[in-house]
Amino acid sequence: MADYDYDLFVIGAGSGGVRCSRMSASLGARVAVAEERELGGTCVNVGCIPKKLFHYAAHYAEQFEDAEAYGWKVGPRSFDWSTLLVNKDREILRLNGIYGRLLEEAGVTLLTGRARLVDPHTVEVAGRQHSAANILVATGSWPHVPDIPGAEHAITSNEFFRMETLPRRAVVVGGGYIAVEVSGIFHGMGCEVTQLYRGPLFLRGFDGDVRQALAEEMRKKDVDVRFEANPARIEKGETGLTVTLEDGSSLEADVVLYATGRLPLTDDMGLEEAGVKLDARGAVVVDPYSRSSVEHIWAIGDVTDRLNLTPVAIHEAMCLATTLFGGVPTAPDHENVASAVFSQPQVGAVGLTEEEARDRYGAIDVYRTRFRPLLHTLTGRPDQTMMKLLVEPESDRVVGCHMVGPEAGEIMQGLAIAVKCGTTKAQFDATVGIHPTSAEEFVTMREKATGE
């Protein structure tokens, strides 16, 4: 590899790119990474981190109200959007600095600017060419907005975290996890929220009971969730935006946010010219070891459009570093990866959905419960938590866990270990619960759901 400037050249300093750079360098490789925006990628700057901070902020309105049922007298209160923005920006700047120091301490060369492939072993950044034995594409994805009249008046999740003012009326278009999360944040901060989704039920790919339960809970909180509804055009007027739907009805809004999916960020990178195969969505096509159609060009994370989660990109990065410089070819494992949606209430899931389990196994045992959390026995809120276990009857193995309710993400992380280890329903039943908690319901469900 001495004939090249670097053993590995990484394009993109997001979570996956940084992890692969650092780990590869620790294994003795000469590594460079190029980034044209902020260090940390989508997750740190306009994704997971600011989203979770905003999610925390949005919860306080209900928490203040709930406190009164527990004897606390809460005085006058108001929300200041600008304070949240300043504090969020300070935390992101701190994380940007940490990423930079981690790369420096690992001995990785950081290049600022847009990277473009010249040939299968050469990358150009800011007018200078760099050769590498291996090239890794880790550029992530970018929000996609459908081409309708007035689309230029809409924003995406990128701009959401930098809005100068908080709108009074918000229309959120989309049915994925970003859309439901943003709807919950807007609502918690006092906005009038309408969420539009073109299909019959949002969160496609999640368990059917999860999708239905979340829709019900969001409507209880007065979020105007509308299915089979899609904008036809957006018009800007003196008092705001008018969203005309395909059925001819219209909505007035101060902001329209599109969360209708993200596309792999591969445009104008010279990938196809270098021989790298892309699919119809622009994703880099890779084999189980993250190798592209070109022998020494690799890709990980959202740009491959496999399982688009930050921890998955990091896992893929570690596997690739081990494959290239650790002497042990290692394929990432995408089976039974847990996920959370920071909606209000939260969603947590690991393993198969009921629909997937029936397709794979045929017969499946379903355990399901819905209940009012102990907290709300005093507050009087109608909120309900839904929990669900899916069991393959022949082996008694738990193949899916699903939850809609407070702290679903935290609870699901522990259950993910159990599912990954192939735990059986009998072992769930033998586990003594922690009382009183919502989580204990996962080890106390004994009756199969009726009608299964």
For all residues of the chain together, what is the average pLDDT?
97
What's the pLDDT tens digit per position in 269-317?
A: 999 999 999 999 999 999 999 999 999 999 999 999 999 999 999 999 9
How large a percentage of the chain has pLDDT more than 70?
99
- Distance CA(163)–CA(277), nearest Å, equals 37
Inform me whether the pLDDT recorded for 161 exceeds 90: yes
- Distance CA(308)–CA(282), nearest Å, equals 14
Single out the residue in 325, 353, 373 at which a domain terminates. Answer: 325
Clarify whether residues 285 and 244 are in a common domain: no
Closest CA to 33 of 51, 50, 13, 16: 13
* pLDDT (0 to 100) of residue 1: 53
- Domain around 160: 151-260
CATH number at residue 408: 3.30.390.30
Inform me whether the pLDDT recorded for 452 exceeds 80: no
pLDDT band at residue 63 under the 50/70/90 scheme? very high
Query: Of the listed 59, 121, 334, 435, which one is catalytic?
Result: 435
Does a structural domain hold residue 93?
yes
Inform me whether the pLDDT recorded for 67 exceeds 50: yes
CATH number at residue 307: 3.50.50.60
Residue 34: strand pairing partners: 11, 111
Q: If you average pLDDT over residues 337-352, what whole number do you get?
A: 98
CB 399 within 8 A of CB 391: yes
- For the chain, the domain total comes to 3
How large a percentage of the chain has pLDDT more than 90?
98
Give me the residue label for tokens 């819905």: 370
Inform me whether the pLDDT recorded for 367 exceeds 80: yes
The C-alpha angle 417, 423, 429, rounded to 5 degrees, equals 110
435 in active site: yes
- Residue 35's alpha-carbon distances to 9, 32, 110, in angstroms, are 11, 10, 8
Amino acid at 393: P
Torsion, Cα 371 372 377 380, to 10 degrees, reads: -140
Q: If you average pLDDT over residues 363-386, what whole number do you get?
A: 97
Sign of the CA dihedral 81, 87, 88, 93? positive
* pLDDT (0 to 100) of residue 54: 98
- Residue 151's alpha-carbon distances to 165, 232, 235, 241, 353, in angstroms, are 20, 10, 9, 11, 35
* pLDDT (0 to 100) of residue 450: 73
Does a structural domain hold residue 330?
no
Inform me whether the pLDDT recorded for 246 exceeds 60: yes
